[in-house]
Amino acid sequence: MCRNIKTLFNFEPPATEDEIHASALQFVRKLSGFNKPSQANEAAFNLAVTEVSEAARRLLTSLHTTAPTRDREVEAEKAKERSRLRFG
């Protein structure tokens, strides 16, 4: 599951709310072991996703770097090339 969590810092344009939420959702899924929680656990699961999203947003806004911003398309091409080399 965690393979779907993408790096969100230092990209232009910055990470969107949807990207932050998707990353938090994957993180909570991994921690809980639930892809979709039962009704009994749904409220706790959703609260955790909200809280992790807020923490991630605070983290991303507080980080600083002198490195040049990365381009999403260039990084996607690099990942495709790595996959091609690895799996043929």
State pLDDT tens for residues 10-32: 998 899 999 999 999 999 999 99
> Is-contact 74 46, C-beta < 8 A?
no
User: Over the stretch 29-76, which tens digit does the pLDDT of each residue have?
Assistant: 999 999 999 999 999 999 999 999 999 999 999 999 999 999 988 988
Given a cut of 70, whether residue 3 has pLDDT beyond it is: no
pLDDT level of residue 1 (50, 70, 90 thresholds)? very low
pTM: 0.81
Residues facing 71 on adjacent strands: 12
